[in-house]
A and B are shown apart, each in its own frame.
Chain A
Amino acid sequence: MEREKILSVSDLSVAFGKRSIIHGLSFDLYAGDDLAVLGPNGSGKTVLLKALLGLVPFEGEIRWAPKVRQGYVPQTVAADRQMPLNIHDLLVAKANFLKLPASDVAAVIQTAGLNADLLSSSIGVISGGQFQKALIAFALLGNPSVLLFDEPTASLDELAEEHVYELVAQLREKGLTVILVSHDISLVHRSASQVLCLSKDHSCMGPPQEVLTSKMLEQLYGAEPKYYLHRHDHGSVQPSSSSGAK
């Protein structure tokens, strides 16, 4: 059975002034795929997500399937922490703007595991992990079918990171497609069905076991990064070389 294409990117280029960030990138994403975007600093991972959301000007074509609704969890939000705004008010503001019923707010609160104390807390006093959960709840409002995650655990400790990834795994099980920007190669191996590698002069796409070869990682990062891949069958990873990006 042919899988439904939910995203088609062709010849995408993004530049800020004279500085080219992404040049001529093309790839497709199908329903059921979980895409991880991997690459060194400055390779345009965050810019790609922003282009997919229409937040930065770009050339080329980005075509989402008509029924796709996106949710976005940014790497960080430089919100004024002095603002008298609590998480509940923030969620209600989005629900009101999108004309969603109050039951939708209650549903995302439950899914993201936000408790009453946290909901009434000002954004200025909550921890990084709680803030990230709140951002996930915010992204889930509006019932997205694709969630774009930009390094969601970059500033979190290990425990908070684990909680966020558990939540992401649960969302995947519920049928949400996740596009995840990450530095964490072992996580990408573990969770993604497709990997898009980005670097200044190279891009590739395919399943992690095919794309994340020693040669490819070396091309991507300049030197092969060290990482540990924990597998329950204690077998070693034997990646083979392949490239899926056009």
Chain B
Amino acid sequence: MSGSPEIYSLLLALLFAVAAGLVGSFTLMKRMLLAGDVISHIALPGLALAFLFHFNPLLGGGTTLLLGTVLIWQLQRKTGFETETIIGVVFATSVAIGAVLTPKEDLVEALFGKFQDLTLLAFIAGAACVLAIIAFVFLFKDRLILSLFSPELASATGVKIDRLNLYFLLAFSMTVLVGLRFLGGLLVGSLIILPATTGRRLGNNISQFLFFSSAASLAAVGAGFVIGKYIFHVSMSGPVIVITSAVIFALSLLVPRR
């Protein structure tokens, strides 16, 4: 089937959109949207190394993301600083290393992403990651809600807050990792921020919030793909998806608040 690699790519992008909406909703409620956006930039040194030494960019990005996430979690535990303080330190270092190492001709793809054809194996690996993220959100939803309301009460109820924070950071990083190829290191965090903001605008309770965030994310990726490919004829997918997502958010402002 000659069209399959492109379909795999689109399918994975749509699956990623659902995960980004769900993870973004909790990231917004944890008030770490910008901090989360910054986490995505930690992939840049890994992408740079991959372009430099010609190995899979996702492997490079994933490795530095994972190391960065664990480093943030450990520094937070050891120093007691706010997450955003620690992320700020790790982020600045990552972007600097990424910018120095990335070959010029690959910089645009590393920063802004691309709709590339996918092999079946890459699709299965990506889809497995997305399903794991979605499963995490639904399995840990109650724990996340309790910890968002009050970490102290959640802890008194039996929720292991430290562990939950680590799982959440890993789910976030995995979401970023899957989205890297479509949106690039610079814009991947945007698809976690923008649809969640739309969902927050439209949803009155947690379930509605999660639903509208995922729907907005799905619509942005779907429409972004069609607009980019058939109207602007560009393969650089990130900016088109992010602009589409921003337009959806703008439209949500027209809906009267209940």
Could you list which residues of chain A lie within 8 angstroms of chain B, going by C-beta atoms? Answer: 50, 53-55, 70, 72, 74, 77-80, 83-86, 89-90, 92-94, 96-98, 122-123, 138, 142
Contact = CB atoms under 8 A, between A and B. Distances in A.
B29 A83 contact: yes
Contacts of B156: 53-55, 70, 72
Contact of A84 (B146, B150, B157, B204): B204
A73 to B, nearest CB: 9
A98 B157 CA distance: 8
B114 interface: no
Which label, helix, strand, loop or mixed, suits the secondary structure of the B interface? helix
Given A83-B148, A97-B159, A77 B153 contact: yes
Nearest to B155: A55
B153 A89 contact: no
Contacts, number: 69
Given A93-B142, A97-B142, A123-B149, A84 B205 contact: yes
A80 B157 contact: no
Given A90-B145, A94-B142, A97-B158, A77 B150 contact: yes
Contacts of A78: 150
B203 interface: yes
Interface in B131-176: 141-143, 145-146, 148-150, 152-153, 155-159
A138 B227 CA distance: 49
B206 A98 contact: no
Q: Which bucket holds chain B's interface residue count?
A: 20 to 34
B157 A79 contact: no
B149 A74 contact: no
B88 to A, nearest CB: 21
20 contacts: A50-B152, A55-B152, A55-B155, A70-B156, A74-B150, A74-B153, A77-B153, A78-B150, A80-B29, A83-B148, A83-B149, A84-B208, A85-B145, A85-B205, A90-B149, A93-B142, A93-B145, A93-B149, A96-B142, A98-B158
Ordered nearest first, which 3 A-B pairs have the shortest CB separation?
A: A93-B145, A93-B142, A96-B142
Nearest to A141: B157
A122 B150 CA distance: 15
Nearest to A78: B150
B31 interface: yes
B200 interface: yes
B209 interface: yes
Contacts of B149: 77, 79, 83, 85, 90, 93, 123
B205 A89 contact: yes
A79 B207 CA distance: 19
A120 B158 CA distance: 25
Which interface residue of A74, A78, A97, A142 has the most chain B CB atoms within 10 A? A97
A86 B205 CA distance: 7
A94 B148 contact: no
Which interface residue of B150, B153, B204 has the most chain A CB atoms within 10 A? B153
A58 to B, nearest CB: 15
A96 B159 CA distance: 12
